[in-house]
């Protein structure tokens, strides 16, 4: 199934594969700009619903972490807490010793959340935060658009873009301020299989180029093992499993090694499911 898809991938895919020339075949980002993330005893409830019951986690700077877990287990809540979109009930989240600016942490959601009344380029400029009105805003936004391969769409309305293109604009908007932590909440969940794979390549490429700390929530275990250095399984409000993925990049999708990992993570998820 996976190999069948791979052979029929569009040109964009081939082009990005060409970028993985032997010299750039590294498994780590070229340079790490990311922030480390430490979470201690993190708890969060909504009314009587105790969603997170004590999360302890350290993510080294520049690591690519995937978070999986059954629906409603609190993945989005954890991500929103990290991004500062929800109040912490107990515990702490810290980003190393550095003073964190709002522009340092960006989130991408399943919905692109583009302003329909702003052209693609202005939508990307929104991502500059307080630098929105600076003189180089245009140039920076264009550079971010180039990174996601959408320069030619700069003057379009979002409504004419495809789902994958909209998500790429959202990615450019998240990248334009050069964030040091990028949190993704099922960003590819609404895309078709082919677009998904080329978006996964794109995510991996920008992560490798920019070296931010990446936290990807996904329900697709194959995606998690293909992209991440480390996969966390959340169950009953805690981190139930913490699995390192040591496979070298670029990774061969559907390889025996990844399939084995995928299988074992899936069985963790299923056993959690059986208990309820």
Partner 1 sequence: MSLIDSVSLPRNFRLPRVDGLVQWIVPLAIIAIWQVASVTGFVPVRVLPAPSDVALAGWKLLLSGELIRNIWVSFWRASIGFLIGGSIGFAFGLANGLSQLSAKLTDTTLQMVRNVPHLALIPLVILWFGIDESAKLFLVALGVFFPIYLNTLHGIRTVDPHLIEMGRIYGMSDGELFRRVIFPGALPSIFVGIRFALGIMWLTLIVAETIAASSGLGYMAMQAREFMLIDVVVLSILIYALLGKLADSASRVLERLTLSWHPAFQKR
Ligand X SMILES: Nc1ncnc2c1ncn2[C@@H]1O[C@H](COP(=O)(O)OP(=O)(O)O)[C@@H](O)[C@H]1O
Nearest to partner 1 of 114, 258 (CB atom): 114
Contacting range for partner 1; rule: CB under 8 A; set: 104-112, 138-146, 212-220, 261-269: 104-112
Residue from 40, 43, 113, 178 touching partner 1 (CB under 8 A): that is 113
Q: Is 130 in the site for partner 1 (CB under 8 A)?
A: yes
Q: Write down the least CB distance from residue 176 to partner 1, Å.
A: 10
Phi, psi for 161 (deg, rounded to 5): -85, 155
Q: Is 168 in the site for ligand X (CB under 6 A)?
A: no
Nearest to partner 1 of 161, 243 (CB atom): 161
Assign 208 to helix, strand or coil.
helix
Contacting range for ligand X; rule: CB under 6 A; set: 44-52, 54-62, 102-110, 264-272: 44-52
> Taking CB under 6 A as the criterion, which residues in 70-89 touch ligand X?
71-77
Nearest to ligand X of 77, 210 (CB atom): 77
Q: For the chain, what percentages of helix, strand and coil (3-state, to nearest 5) are there?
A: 40, 20, 35
> Taking CB under 8 A as the criterion, which residues in 61-90 touch partner 1?
83, 85
Q: Are 178 and 210 in contact (CB under 8 A)?
A: yes
Residue from 50, 53, 89, 157 touching partner 1 (CB under 8 A): that is 157
Burial class (CB in 10 A: 0-12, 13-18, 19+), 34: buried
Q: Report cis status (omega within 30 of 0) of the bond before 77.
A: no
Write the DSSP string, 89-152: SEEEEE-SSSPPPGGGEEEE-SS----TTS-HHHHHHHTTGGGGGSTTHHHHHHHHHHHTT-GG
> Taking CB under 6 A as the criterion, which residues in 47-66 touch ligand X?
49, 51
Please tell me the number of Cα atoms within 13 Å of 193 on its side-chain side.
9
Residue from 42, 64, 76, 221 touching Mg ion (CB under 5 A): that is 76
Assign 179 to helix, strand or coil.
coil
The contact set with ligand X (CB under 6 A) reads: 46, 49, 51, 69, 71-77
The contact set with Mg ion (CB under 5 A) reads: 76
């Amino acid at each position: 199934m996976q190999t069948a898809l791979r052979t029929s991938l569009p040109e964009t895919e081939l082009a990005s594969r060409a970028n993985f020339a032997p010299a750039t075949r590294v498994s780590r980002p070229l340079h790490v700009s990311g922030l480390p993330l430490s979470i201690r005893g993190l708890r969060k409830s909504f009314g009587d619903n105790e969603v997170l019951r004590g999360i302890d986690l350290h993510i080294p700077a520049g690591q690519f972490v995937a978070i999986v877990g059954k629906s409603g287990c609190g993945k989005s809540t954890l991500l929103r807490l990290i991004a500062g979109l929800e109040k912490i009930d107990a515990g702490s989240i810290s980003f190393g010793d550095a003073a964190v600016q709002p522009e340092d942490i960006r989130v991408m959601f399943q919905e692109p959340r583009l302003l329909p009344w702003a052209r693609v380029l202005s939508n990307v400029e929104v991502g500059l935060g307080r630098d929105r009105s600076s003189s180089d805003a245009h140039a920076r936004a264009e550079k971010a658009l180039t990174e996601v391969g959408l320069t030619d769409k700069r003057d379009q309305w979002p409504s004419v873009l495809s789902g994958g293109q909209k998500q790429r604009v959202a990615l450019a908007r998240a990248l334009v301020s050069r964030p040091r932590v990028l949190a993704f909440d099922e960003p590819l969940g609404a895309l078709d299989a082919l677009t998904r794979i080329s978006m996964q390549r794109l995510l991996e490429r920008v992560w490798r180029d920019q070296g931010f700390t990446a936290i990807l929530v996904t329900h697709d275990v194959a995606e998690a093992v293909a992209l991440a250095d480390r996969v966390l399984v959340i169950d009953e409000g805690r981190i139930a499993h913490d699995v390192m993925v040591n496979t070298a990049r670029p990774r061969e999708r559907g390889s025996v090694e990844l399939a084995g990992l995928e299988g074992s993570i899936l069985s963790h998820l299923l056993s959690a499911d059986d208990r309820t």
